[in-house]
């Protein structure tokens, strides 16, 4: 069907299509933007598209007009992941809705959304080319003094605020139904909360020297397996708040003046500590990368100190802001006391340490590895990084009830470095 639209002095022929989903290629993304008359003006007609996605799930296209230089991002969720595994597409709608919700709460911290298409399961959004992906920025040992404050602001305003303590249990239960995110949670439950403890990873190996440790100690460590199972139980059963669900450094774009958080496609109701733990774990990857690659450099030591201060900043700032937010906004009559707030905070901090440990482990063992560690070329340095991280991960999980204060994290980090160095001598 062709629709003729009269636009001042010209007639536009618009084909009405896109009534059934298909995975678009670069040219089809350009055609789509033109047919839907999205983002670009009629004069901007020299469009080029490039697929720039480097994640595991979706296809991400940057479309640029060569005349004006203006560009936009089209992110499409297909029926298959990039590694050809069948997957539902409900995550794309959830991502769109979450981005809108986050934009209301933290307008400066999410990309601008221009369009959402429920049939094509794609989102047209701001190109964040003024920012750098935080994982790569951290790999270059760049520091961002504002990060801890900003990420805590995001966590309080977009995650903590969704607890039933503030919005009421009736509303929250309906939200829990809406954001159950079956396929995304299934991925998390397999990749993060199960496989690293059960599977032999011939396809995604760690350094050979670490295999006896992995199979004979780590995966045989009954205490670790039990505590990891408890955290998995919590993730499945505790609908504490609406999480981002995948809050790692690769989901953050940053520069010296600000940051934008993307990709809430794994959003679901689960323990808040899962998201905070993810942030902390991914800071540690950058720390350990720097530690094994540049142990002596003064600049690198400064960077690692910044990471440690940032982790401590996240814990202290979260503690302060959580208690204040709770005191000022709680509506549940049973939850008004200071003791209650403190009790809840301690549970969240315990979870934070535990889920940080689980995130660390799954990025070392398993298929969803991180570039911070994977790109270390020297086998000995990589093996050391893996061993430190596995020891740190274990410690954070098993001893999580003791890891609540900011300085416990730096102590755990130092301990893991010393222990792994000694074992691998």
Q: List, in sequence order, every beta strand (DSSP E) within 16-90.
A: 47-51, 59-65, 71-76
User: Binding mask 174-203 vs ligand SR1 (x if CB under 6 A, - otherwise)?
Assistant: -------------xx--x------------
Q: What is the dihedral of CA 186, 192, 196, 197, to 10 degrees?
A: -80
User: Which of Mg ion, ligand SR1, none does 368 bind, CB closer than 5 to 8 A by kind?
Assistant: ligand SR1
User: Which of Mg ion, ligand SR1, none does 372 bind, CB closer than 5 to 8 A by kind?
Assistant: none
Residue from 44, 55, 97, 209 binding ligand SR1 (CB under 6 A): 55
Q: In the range 283-342, which residues lie near ligand SR1 by CB under 6 A?
A: none
Element (H, E) at 24: none
Q: Does 25 bind ligand SR1 (CB under 6 A)?
A: no
Task: Give the C-alpha separation, 289 to 137, whole Å.
Answer: 13
User: Which of Mg ion, ligand SR1, none does 53 bind, CB closer than 5 to 8 A by kind?
Assistant: none
Residue from 55, 101, 114, 309 binding Mg ion (CB under 5 A): 55
Q: What is the dihedral of CA 49, 51, 53, 57, to 10 degrees?
A: 110
> Min. distance of Cβ 348 from ligand SR1 in angstroms?
21
Nearer to ligand SR1, 248 or 382 (CB): 248
Q: Does 78 bind Mg ion (CB under 5 A)?
A: no
Task: Give the C-alpha separation, 352 to 273, whole Å.
Answer: 4
Task: Give the C-alpha separation, 90 to 155, whole Å.
Answer: 23
> Min. distance of Cβ 344 from ligand SR1 in angstroms?
27
C-beta of residue 359 within 8 angstroms of C-beta of residue 192: yes
User: Which of ligand SR1, Mg ion, none does 187 bind, CB closer than 5 to 8 A by kind?
Assistant: ligand SR1
C-beta of residue 181 within 8 angstroms of C-beta of residue 268: yes
Q: Does 246 bind ligand SR1 (CB under 6 A)?
A: yes
Count of residues that bind ligand SR1 according to CB under 6 A: 9
Nearer to Mg ion, 263 or 359 (CB): 263
Beta bridge partner(s), residue 124: 74, 115
Distance from chain centroid for Cα 68: 33
Q: Does 359 bind Mg ion (CB under 5 A)?
A: no
User: Binding mask 243-282 vs Mg ion (x if CB under 5 A, - otherwise)?
Assistant: ---x----------------x-------------------
Task: Give the C-alpha separation, 302 to 202, whole Å.
Answer: 37
Residue 325 is given by DSSP the state: H
C-beta of residue 228 within 8 angstroms of C-beta of residue 397: yes
- 217: phi > 0 → left, psi -120 to 50 → alpha, else beta; which? alpha
- Contact set with Mg ion (CB under 5 A): 55, 246, 263
- Contact set with ligand SR1 (CB under 6 A): 55-57, 81, 187-188, 191, 246, 368
């Amino acid at each position: 069907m062709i629709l003729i639209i009269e636009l001042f002095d010209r007639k536009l022929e618009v084909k009405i299509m896109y009534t059934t989903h298909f995975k678009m290629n670069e040219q089809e993304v350009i055609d789509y933007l033109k047919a839907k008359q999205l983002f670009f003006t009629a004069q901007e007609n020299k469009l080029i598209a490039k697929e720039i996605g480097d994640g595991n799930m979706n296809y991400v296209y940057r479309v640029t007009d060569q005349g004006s230089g203006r560009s936009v991002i089209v992110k499409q969720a297909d029926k298959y992941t990039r590694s050809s595994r069948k997957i539902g597409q409900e995550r794309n709608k959830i991502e769109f809705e979450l981005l809108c919700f986050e934009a209301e709460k933290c307008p400066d911290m999410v990309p601008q959304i221009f369009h959402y298409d429920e049939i094509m399961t794609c989102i047209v959004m701001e190109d964040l080319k003024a920012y750098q992906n935080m994982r790569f920025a951290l790999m270059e040992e760049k520091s961002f003094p504002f990060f801890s404050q900003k990420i805590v602001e995001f966590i309080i305003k977009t995650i903590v605020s969704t607890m039933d303590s503030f919005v009421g249990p009736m509303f929250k239960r309906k939200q829990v139904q809406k954001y159950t995110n079956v396929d995304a949670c299934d991925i998390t439950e397999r990749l993060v909360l199960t496989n690293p403890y059960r599977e032999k990873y011939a396809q995604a190996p760690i350094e050979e020297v670490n295999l006896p440790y992995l199979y004979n100690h780590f995966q045989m460590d009954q205490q670790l397996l039990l505590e990891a199972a408890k955290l998995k139980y919590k993730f499945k059963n505790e609908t504490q708040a609406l999480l981002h669900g995948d809050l790692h450094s690769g989901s953050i774009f940053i520069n010296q003046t600000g940051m934008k958080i993307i990709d809430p496609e794994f959003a679901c109701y689960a323990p808040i500590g899962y998201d905070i733990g993810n942030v902390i774990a991914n800071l540690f990857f950058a720390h350990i990368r720097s530690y094994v690659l540049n142990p002596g450099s003064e600049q690198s030591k400064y960077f690692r100190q910044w990471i440690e201060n940032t982790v401590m900043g996240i814990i202290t700032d979260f503690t302060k802001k959580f208690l204040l937010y709770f005191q000022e906004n709680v509506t549940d009559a049973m939850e008004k006391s200071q003791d209650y707030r403190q009790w809840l905070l301690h549970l969240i901090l315990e979870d934070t340490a535990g889920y940080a440990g689980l995130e660390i482990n799954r990025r070392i063992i398993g298929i969803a590895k991180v570039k911070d560690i994977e790109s270390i070329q020297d086998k000995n340095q990589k093996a050391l990084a893996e061993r430190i991280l596995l020891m740190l991960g274990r410690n954070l999980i098993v001893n999580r009830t003791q890891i609540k204060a900011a300085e416990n994290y730096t102590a755990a980090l130092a301990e893991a470095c010393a222990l792994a160095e000694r074992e691998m001598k």
